[in-house]
Each structure stands twice: as C-alpha cells, then as structure tokens.
Structure 1
Amino acid sequence: MRLIQPDPAAALLGLRAMKTVASTDGAIRPGARALMEAAQKMILHTQYDIDALPPVGATELAKGFPGAQLRAQFVNGMLVSSLADGVPSRETVAKVEEFAGALGIATPEITDLRLMADGHMLLAKLDFLRRGHIKDIFKNQLEQKGPLGFAKSVLTMRGIIEDKALAARYRAWEKLPEGTLGRGLIDFYNQHGFAVPGEPAGFPEAGLYHDFCHLLGGYSTEPEGEIQVASFSAGFKKERPIYIALFSVMIFSAGVQMRPTNDPFVTVGVLGKPGVAELMLAAIERGSKVNIDLTDKWDYWAWIEMPIDEVRQRMNILPKPAV
C-alpha cells in the first residue's frame, strides 16, 4: 500500500473533506486533527490552517478528485480518521458514506463502521474479522497445517491444550547465535513473557509475521508501537491492506477489542498523542518499500539462522525515518 501525493488542488479538496468529516459532531477531536496535520506534513506537503478551511460537499469533492487509487486512499483516510478518537457517531459515518459514494468507492469497512455506530458491535466485529487479515491467518494456518493442526493451534491459543513438541521447536531458537533472526525473536518473546506456538496462549504459526515485524521494524509493543507495526505490515501487504491498519486503530485508538484472544487491553485516542499519526504514516511508507509480503505464507524457517541485519537488507527494510 503506497501513499500517493495528490496535486495541489486535490490535496486542498481532500483536506477540506477530511475536516468536514471530522467536524460533523462539532469541534475536531485530537486524533482526527493529528491525522490531518500528519497528512499535510507526510503526504500533501501543504501548510493550511485546518480551522480556517471551509467545508466541502460531496459533488464538489468528486469533481476535483481524480483517479481510482487516490480516491481509495482518501476513503481509507476517512476510515482511519473516523476511528481515531473512539467509535464514530452515526452522523460521522453518514458523512463518510456520502463522500465515499460520490467518489464511487464501495467498501465493506464502511458497513462495519455503520454497525458500530448503531451499537451492533458483535456483528461489526464478526464481519470485519471474516474479511481481514485475521481470516487470512487462519486460512493460511488451515492450508499449511491441515484440519488437525489448525484445530490444535486454535485450542492452544485459547489456552485449552498445549503442543509440547511444537513448542520445543521454537524454544530451540534459544540456542541460536545472538544476532540471528530466530534468536532475536525468542529473546523478544522471553523479554515480554509471550508464549511461543504450542504453548498455552501461543499464537498460530501463520500469524508469527506480526512478531517478526516488531523485531525487524524495531517497533515496541506499546500502543504507539502496535499502531506502527500494523501500518508497516499494511505497507507491504498485497491484499486488503487497510484491514490490518484499521484493526490496530480500532484496538488502540477507538477502544474496541478486536482480537480473537482473551486479551482485554484497549486504549482510546492514541493517534491524538503528539507524533503518533506521523509515525503511522511513516511506517506505511517504510513498509511499502519491503520486497516481500510477510503475511502471505512467508517461510520464516528459511531465515531464522541469518543475522537480523542481513534479513533487513535482503527484504529492503530501510532504517526508521526521522519524523
């Protein structure tokens, strides 16, 4: 998912439309404002006074906003912005729907926003999860491990059983030389008290790319780091990348528990904290330079004995930019 810079006229229209959405309920809230400011700095390269921008209607926006890719990017931006400060109101979602419709962008994520705004949280979660990267993880787990292996991975994730033989394969990484990818990940797990696959609460193997991205990208497990690692992954994910970014935004900025685990931790408004919105956009751009989609059945076993720096070089994982 690459971030496209629009021409100056479209940039102004888009920013006006983002403000229109963000001010539907009154004053612009911190997360939405931070995203608009970050978009000006990181994508649009403009310096408009957000409070002075006039609103824009759907017809005017559609007339001056060219290109399907740019339109899709703008709709994605509206989705993120509408979740930046909590679950959006019905009025906010209606404005998102109006603008997306005028731009000719039909996307099921807006339906999930509508369900959330209407209080149908369980339906919204189920619909979102069945379309996004969590579905991809479980699909890949089933294809790679078969029905029995899939069932065992779900039961271990839920803490019902354990697979000692599988866990031992991962614990063997503790014997790898320091600085290698496998040793780095097992050290990361031990540092944070995480379970490896096969241990109770261990995540299915098809989803380990998330933890590898923490390691390879240098992102923390704090809410700000989780927003970045999801954005980094969205950058290189080939199919439906917005889901992986929205998933993290829902948990850490909208306060909605979306995980298929028992972890209750959520936060509200992380994107409104200074610099986080800029770090999110920088992570997307950084991820877009990676030359392999780690979410698509990546065989990390072929890489675990390599030095981490060599892995980064081969994958074209660039240093984190200063923002």
Structure 2
Amino acid sequence: MEEVLLTPPGADEVRILARGVLAAATGDDGPTPLQELLIPSLFLSMTGHAVELAALTPIGPVEFAQQLARRNRIFRERIVQTMLLAALVVRPLPAEVALRLREFADALDVDDDMIAVAEKYADGAADLAAADFDRNGYLGGLHADRLNALHTQDLDSSWGQVAHDPALAARWAQLWELPVGTLGRGVADFYRDRGFVTPGLPGSAPPLLAQHDWVHVLAGYGTTLENEIEVFAFMARANDDPRAFSLLAMVISLFETGYLKAGAGLFEANEGHLRSGGMAVRLGDAMRRGARTQGSHDFLDLDWFGLADRPITVVRSEIGLTPKAAPAIAAGSVSAWQPGGITPYQLNAARKAAESEGRPFVPWQPDPNRE
C-alpha cells in the first residue's frame, strides 16, 4: 500500500483538483460567471496556487479518484465540499450537476449530507432540502454540552429562542462590566452599537446563533450580509468536523441563491450577496483563515463566557488567527468598527434601543482602537 500523502498539494496537483471541481460542479454549458470567480479564488486562497479554468481539461470521477488515491479521507471530504460549494451557488441547479456530484463523491468513497441537499435543489424540492438542514447531525441535535455552553436549559431545538431567562440575560449584561479590550466587552459593545437584544430577553436571537456574534468580534468581521457569509465560512473551516460545512451551505442558500427561505432561527433569505464585487475573494480568504487556526474549533458549542475576561489579542494569538489577506481587505472585508461594517437598519435599531431604555444614544462610529 502506498504511503498516505500529507503534504500540501503542489501546483500540478492543484490543477488536477480544479479539473475535478470544474467537472463535478458545472453544468453542460460550462461555469457560470460566479463560478468563474469563485473556483479560482478558493484554490488560490486555500493552496496558494492560481488556476485558469479555461486551461483545464475535463476529468471523470474514476480517473479523479485514482489521482487522489494517496490522499486520506479528510482531504477527499474537503475536495467534495469544494465541489458542493461551487455547485450550490447556482440556481437553478442543473440535474446533471447533482448527478455528477454523487458520482465523484462515490468514486472518492465520501458521503456528505449536503449532496442530498443538492439533489433536492436540482429536483426543485427546496422545502425538502430545508428539512434536511433541520435534521443535519451537526445542527439538528440538542445535547448536554451544547446546553451547558449556551447557559440555558430552556430550549426545545438547537435554534430555539429564549425570551425569558433572567439568569442568562444577567450573564450577558455582566459583559459590560469587563475592561475595554477584553473579548467580552467587545461583544457587549458590538451588541449595543447595533441595538441587538441579548439572549434571555424578549426579541433576542437564539442563543446558538448568538454564539457566532463572538466570532464576528474575534475574527474581525462586520455585520452586513456579506460579512455573515465570511463568518460562517470561517467557522465551517475552523472545525475539523466535516459536518460543519453545512453552516456555509446554509448561508449560501440564504444569502446567495435563496434556496432556503429562512435559517438559524432568525435569518431570512436575501439573495445575491455572493455576487457582490470581491465576495469570491473574501469567501476564500475567510475559509483560509479558518483552516489555519490552530486545532479544531466548534465555535457554536464553545463556552465563550469562559474567555470573556481575556484580552481579545490573547485569544486571537491562542487560536493562531492569521490576518486577513490584502486582496480580501481591498475587496471590502471590514470589521465591526470599520466603515461599511454595520447596516443602516442596525444603526437605527441602536438609536431606538437607547430611547426605549432612557439612556443617552452614543452613535456607532469607526474605531480602529477596537480592532
């Protein structure tokens, strides 16, 4: 038996990988304009090697699997997920693409729940696909560790809301008592600047969804829908559990294709945000940053309050967070306190929240000291 190949792929292997992704994810008419941007961006960000789609020749699933014979399962799973990501940005999804995704996955001896989702999209059964997301093993189940991390027992589903939990609300309120520069105080500022309601109070986001707000602050992403795509891409790749890819598949289905009408207990469909200028580069960079964190991080099941009093710079260093690449910054990737990192709706919500609570309204403004 040949020795397993664990080194990063070189330029020649990257071209083979790109041939497989192109063959599996594109329809008979060739790649869409978005795929022409996305596929090269993903490979450049994740491998450091550029690919030109026009120069690639087709490859079948059997030959592709033979080329990857020395690669382990996790490598093959990630390649299938790259195929899925490149396919899931297309609506309508051609039937031949869903078929080829299954053929390539079978040849690579890989199964992924999102292949069934792609098949349902291709069949026009988006409602059934939504049910698959709800049943997904990573997102669907409640367990003791998750409840302990969320500091509440008052949930009937992972994405359930908690509108009356005084202890949980008090725990979030205590973040305001932390020194400026700590992760927890950053999250408190993040909430107040946007008029967000903390878990445990009426009108709040589901506690599980609130977990990802810590990632906005930690990884340096604002709160536009484009930023949401970056955050979920970062979280999906920071987790070694391949099922976490469903997080990214979910937000693409919400904020690019609109296949999903709603998700994560709060989000509603709003199409076309991956087509925004530079988003292919930003998505690839967010995946790169997630993949390069040290260790495996399940940010949704992490007890963030155990890190709340620590300097944000220390937490970033401990997980090995790499800076954003210059092309992603040039393409518009911003943090929660940079221009463009907040929406007009959120600014207005912050003003209304201050008025309703009878406290002075301090408008959001860019603040490089909070980066």
Scaled by the length of structure 2, the TM-score of the pair is 0.75
Paired with 1:37 and 1:90, the residues of 2 have a C-alpha distance of 24
From 82, 86, 89, the counterpart of 1:77: 82
Letter in 2 for 1:203: A
Q: Would the alpha carbon gap of residues 265 and 4 (structure 1) be closer, same or farther in structure 2, given more than 3 Å must change?
A: farther
Matches of 1:19 and 1:314, distance apart in 2: 37
Picking from 219, 223, 247, the partner of 1:244 is: 247
CA contact (8 A) 1:196 1:203 kept: yes
1:23 is displaced (CA, Å) by 3.7
- Residue 200 of structure 1 and its aligned partner are, at CA, apart by 2.2
Task: Return closer, same or farther for 1:202/1:25 CA change in 2, 3 Å cut-off.
Answer: farther
2:129 counterpart of 1:124: yes
Change (3 A) 1:4 1:24: farther
Give the counterpart letter for 1:310 in structure 2.
Answer: V
Q: 1:108 to 1:187 in 2, by over 3 A?
A: same
Show the 5 A alignment for 1:54-69. 54-66=57-69, 67=71, 68-69=73-74
| C-alpha deviation, 1:321, in angstroms | 2.7
Q: Distance in 1 between matches of 2:43 and 2:160?
A: 46
Describe the shift of the 1:47–1:102 C-alpha distance in structure 2 as closer, same or farther (beyond 3 A).
same
- Paired letter, 1:235: R
CA contact under 8 A between 1:156 and 1:163: conserved in structure 2? no
Partner Cα distance (2:9, 2:252) in 1: 24
Q: Could you tell me which of 11, 14, 17 is aligned with 1:14?
A: 17
Structure 1 residues 291 and 6: CA distance shift in structure 2, 3 A: closer
- Distance, in Å, in 1 between the alignment partners of 2:313 and 2:265 is 32
- The corresponding residue for 2:263 is 259
Please give the per-residue CA displacement for 1:60-103, whole angstroms capped at 9, x wherever unaligned: 22222331333222211110000123352222111211222222
Corresponding residue number in structure 1 for 2:107? 102
Instruction: Give the 3 Å change call, closer, same or farther, for CA 152–246 of structure 1 in structure 2.
Output: closer
Looking at structure 2, the residues matched to 319 and 115 of structure 1 have their Cα atoms a distance apart, in angstroms, of 38
**Identity, % of aligned pairs?**
28
TM-score (ref. length: structure 1) = 0.85
Alignment-mate amino acid for residue 77 of structure 1: T
Q: How far apart are the structure 2 equivalents of 1:279 and 1:238?
A: 21
Correspondence 1:49 to 2:41: no
CA offset digits 1:140-168 (Å, max 9, x no partner):
444667995224997645xxx43344323
- From the superposition, tell whether residues 26 and 215 of structure 1 become closer, same or farther in structure 2 (CA, over 3 Å): same
Match of 1:320 in 2: 324
Amino acid at match of 1:79: L
Paired residue for 1:306?
Answer: 310
Instruction: Using CA pairs under 8 Å that are at least 6 residues apart, name the structure with larger relative contact order, 1 or 2.
Output: 1
Unpaired stretches in structure 1, ≥5 consecutive residues: none
Question: Does the 8 Å CA contact 1:42/1:281 hold for their aligned counterparts?
Answer: yes
**AA in 1 matched with 2:114:** E
How far apart in 1 are the matches of 2:157 and 2:59? Answer: 53
Q: Which amino acid aligns with 2:254?
A: I
User: In 2, distance between residues paired with 1:155 and 1:94?
Assistant: 35
3-state secondary structure, aligned to 1:177: coil
The residue that corresponds to 1:281 in the other structure is: 284
* Inter-partner Cα distance in structure 1 for 2:218 and 2:266: 26
Could you tell me whether the CA contact under 8 Å between 2:160 and 2:206 is conserved in 1?
no
Matched, 1:226 2:231: no
The corresponding residue for 1:172 is 174
Moved more, 101-110 or 285-294: 285-294
1:114 and 2:116 correspond: no
* Count of residue pairs the alignment pairs up: 317
- The superposition leaves residues 35-64 of structure 1 with CA deviations (integer Å, 9 ceiling, x where unpaired) of 222134224444443224222222222222
1:228 alignment partner AA: E
Q: Contact 1:112–1:127 (CA<8 Å) still a contact in 2?
A: yes
1:222–1:196 Cα change, 3 Å: same
- Aligned pairs for 1:284-299 within 5 A: 284-288=287-291, 289-291=293-295, 293-295=297-299, 297-299=301-303
2-side partners of 1:124 and 1:280: how far apart? 23
Q: CA deviation at 1:138?
A: 6.8
1:118-144 per-residue CA deviation (whole Å, 9 max, x = no partner) reads 122222112223225432567644466
Counterpart Cα distance in 1 of 2:31 and 2:157 = 47
